[in-house]
Every structure is written in C-alpha cells, then in structure tokens.
Amino acid sequence: MLQSCSVNSSELSCKKLRIAVLASGSGSNFEALVNYCRRKDVLVATVCLLIVNNPGSGAEARAERLGIPWILINHRDFDNRELHDAAIANTLKKENIDLVVLAGWMRIITSEIINAFPKGSLLNIHPSLLPAFKGSAAIADALLAGVVKTGCSVHEVVLDVDAGPIMAQAEVLITKADDLESLSAKIHQQEHLILAPIVLAKARHLTQIMDRMVALVNPALEPIQP
C-alpha cells in the first residue's frame, strides 16, 4: 500500500535538473542539500521531492518546513524489498526525477531502482571511509575496531552494498573520549559539507549529457548552458 501526503504535479514542476532524496532518519543531510541548492549561485539543480520509509522519522517535518513535497512509502506495507523499491521507482519516474540521492536511507537498494535510471544517477552518503566499514553499523564498527580515524564517503549506488565508485571522502579523527553519539555528530558535520557539492557536480555532468542528447536529436537547438 502506498501512503503519501498530497503532492500536486504542478508543485513539483522544476525548470532545473530534478533531484529526489530518500531518507530514513531525521533528514539533516536532506536539509543541508536543499539549502545548498537554493543558493543564488546554484543554477543547475533543485530538490523537488523527499521520499521516506519511516513514518514520523523527522525528515518529513523538515520537508514541510522547507516547502518540499514529500511522500511516505513504508516498506512495512510491502511483501518484499523488490515490491517496495518498484513503488519508489514508479514514483520517481512519475515525478520526472533525474538524480536520486540516498541520505541516511537505511535500506539495501535493489535492481528495481538501479535499473530505472541511467548509470551514475544514484548517489549515497555513507558514514565511513569506504571500502572500510560497510553496512548500517559503520560508526559503531569503527569504534569497535579501535581505528584512529574514520569519516564519510559519497559514492555511486550499485547492486553491491556500499561498493560503487567513490566520488568524495572526508576524514574524521577518533579520540579516546569519543563514543557513538559524539563520533556520529562529527561525521554528520562532514557529511553536510561534502554531499551537496558532489551532488551538484554530478547534476552539472548529467545536464551536459542531456544537452548533448538534445543537440544530437535537433542540431538546430543550442544546448542550454548550466
């Protein structure tokens, strides 16, 4: 069963490249990305949609405050992961989304979503210096391992978990005083700094590809400059 807030297609009409964010938690990375895209010097893309899988997670409240349409697609309403992802993919396609950002999305992505978009159109932010500490317990695993540093990584999404090409990383030093809460806060701070610039760089790249496709179909049309 698909549950959603009221989303009007005209409200989702964006002249820029259209970004959707998938979030399971509080949505702090979602908000940082929205604010970055709203800067006057950012002309290429805008966040048009938030999808959450956990009711009351907090991300939807941020979307309401920021004026971003959001949809709840609760994984508990589906018999398996593939059906849930198919509902997400259908929603993203219906709303003409160009780039999908997983920001604290605590679900393994299946081919239902990956195959619905061109290669490189899905990005994820992960709280470790990949390939170290893959999976949902990355911060706790780093503390348990006793390493002196960890961090966060922005990477493309592929079928293997946390295994896509890495686009950017930021290091965080681990002190003896750090616990799960303090280390999480330090990593999230770095996530907010690196995610948005990489998303916008990817958006510019995708825009250039689309402009070239337009020029090939109709050589009389000049590509729109980002």
Catalytic residue ranges: 126
- HSE on the CB side for 138, CA within 13 Å? 24
* Nearest partner of 17 among 156, 153, 159, 117, judged by Cα: 117
Cα 38 to Cα 83: distance, rounded to the nearest angstrom: 34
Q: How far apart are CA 3 and CA 51, in angstroms?
A: 11
User: Rounded to an integer, what distance in angstroms lies between the CA atom of residue 99 and that of residue 157?
Assistant: 12
End-to-end CA, the chain: 39
C-alpha Rg value of the chain to the nearest Å: 18
Do residues 104 and 25 lie in contact, with contact meaning Cβ atoms separated by under 8 Å?
yes
Residue pointed to by tokens 């893309």: 45
Select from 156, 155, 186 the least CA-distant residue to 169: 155
